[in-house]
Structure 1
Amino acid sequence: MRGLIVGRFQPFHNGHLMLIKHVLDECNEIIIAIASAQFNYLLKDPFTAGERVEMIHNALKDADIDLARCYIIPIINDENNARWFLHLRSYLPKFDIVYSGNEYVRMLLADYVKVSDVRFYDREKYNASRIRELMINDGEWRALVPRSVYEFINRIDGVKRLKIIANAESKPQEW
């Protein structure tokens, strides 16, 4: 059986890693779909799709997860939510079940595929919006992400990037 998770992973954090381990306990393979792949250098989406692929790949490798069981695939958004599932299917290998803690995602997909309602792991703590806010405000975020993600963000000056984006006079457009 092949499971699917969809997320922006901005950044990839320990809650995401716990979810992936859970899915791999139930499925032979996992597809990790990186949503909003076309967005980057934005407050909500500071990292490129390629950077997110690298973060996830390194975190899985460091967690001793068999990468042969994992597909990491960036997905460009489709602004038409009614056709979103068909859009997903065109980008991804076949999947049997979607794991999501997002009620909206479950609603969009429920007519097309089996959906497992998963509870986020300590969502108050492991929340990418909160982690980005901590990064901008020099808070303690290191323990919230895998070591390799922390190192990667430091290597690309990701915190500096976020601070510049947060203080930009003119906000970039998403569309």
Structure 2
Amino acid sequence: MNRGLVFGKFMPLHKGHQALIRFALQHCDELLVVLCHTAQEPIGGGVRLQWLKNWTISYPSVNVIDFPYDDRILPNSSVSDREVARLWSEAFQQQLPAFTHVFTSEPYGDYIAEYLRITHISYDTVRAVVPVSATQIRNNPLACWHYLADEAKPYFTVKVAIVGTESTGKSILTQRLAEYFHTAYVPEMAREIVEETLTVTPRHLQEIAQLHARTILERLPAANRILLADTDLITTQSYSQFLLGQDLDTAEWIGAANRFDLYLFQEPDCPFIQDGTRLDQDRRNRLSDRHRVYYEACGRPVVFINGDWEQRFRDSVNTIYQYFPALRD
């Protein structure tokens, strides 16, 4: 039986890696796909391991193996060097199931095959099939979006939240921005849980936070480089203090789902529309002041948006381009 080896950092997993793995599968009965990683790398090994497992689930002859290592013992080097190849060959021989072939796009594949007395089959050494490197993608993921594996895209998706007090046009603006950027969006969840603001309870706020976080995670895979969200967890926490005088503690995963790259804070200098579910205008404005305190302390970029509806839309689009210029391409 021919057992092959493909190894790498997959940081991130991209279409070049996928093409190499598919090529290797044509030449062996079983394939070891080995994720090599250290604790110091910018994308955690667990994240990359899950990308590989999710993508290879439809390839039953692939065995994904986690291979953490100490770079003081196994050197990090993209340069083909015989001594480095010898060290890695010995580590693979000691820690992996036996294999008969190794597949790479680098000259060091020859050295590994020589040391282990196996066969090296090269693939696309000039990177003509997928002309990109993982470094290029990490440096500008939005510009290299079409090279990313689908499994890795949610990690690099820009998340922008449209926030502010009641009756500031957040819901319509979020939808308009999603249409403009041809992407997915997360609607406000409060009205799914409670009909009127003044009837809210701590249980309601927990349910809102959980439903909103789940929806963020569900919509991320459908996003086209950017995900827009109508409000976020900070707003829900601000409501908790404003209406109930108490903090809102949530599970860690909810906070993680609500890590946004940019907040567009809608000022209340717009017509107040009372639809029967909202606070009165005075409380609405005081709630805006409360929200402002929370967002100014959040440690993330916050841009304050005002003016009429069209001005808000234009300023929001321009601000997004200012922070993420690659979205223009």
Aligned to 2:135: 129
Could you list the per-position Cα deviations for residues 143-166 of structure 1 after superposition, in whole angstroms to 9, with x for gaps in the alignment?
111212212444679xx7xxxxxx
Aligned to 2:120: 115
2:121 and 2:150 map into 1 onto residues whose CA distance is: 29
Aligned to 1:38: 38
Q: How many residues align?
A: 148
1:152 and 1:57 map into 2 onto residues whose CA distance is: 15
1:134 and 1:124 map into 2 onto residues whose CA distance is: 16
Matches within 5 A, 1:132-147: 132-135=138-141, 139-147=142-150
How far residue 104 of structure 1 moved from its aligned partner, in angstroms, is: 2.6
Aligned to 1:25: 26
How far residue 140 of structure 1 moved from its aligned partner, in angstroms, is: 2.0
Larger radius of gyration between Structure 1 and Structure 2: 2
Matches within 5 A, 1:1-175: 1-35=2-36, 37-40=37-40, 45-61=41-57, 64-66=58-60, 69-75=61-67, 76=69, 77=71, 78-79=74-75, 81=84, 82-112=86-116, 113-120=118-125, 121-122=127-128, 125-135=131-141, 139-154=142-157
TM (norm. structure 2) is 0.40
Shift >6 Å, 4+ stretches: none
Q: Is the 8 A contact 1:12 1:149 kept in 2?
A: yes
2:32 and 2:156 map into 1 onto residues whose CA distance is: 23
1:65 and 1:151 map into 2 onto residues whose CA distance is: 22
Matched position secondary structure for 2:115:
coil
Structure of greater relative contact order (alpha carbons < 8 Å, 6+ residues apart): 1
Structure 2 unaligned spans of 5+ = 76-82, 158-216, 218-255, 262-329
1:39 and 1:12 map into 2 onto residues whose CA distance is: 18
Q: Is the 8 A contact 1:59 1:149 kept in 2?
A: no
**What's the RMSD between the two structures over aligned residues?**
2.7
Structure 1 unaligned spans of 5+ = 161-175
Describe the shift of the 1:25–1:109 C-alpha distance in structure 2 as closer, same or farther (beyond 3 A): closer
2:14 and 2:156 map into 1 onto residues whose CA distance is: 12
TM (norm. structure 1) is 0.72
Matched position secondary structure for 1:46:
coil
2:88 and 2:134 map into 1 onto residues whose CA distance is: 23
The sequence identity of aligned pairs, in percent, is: 19
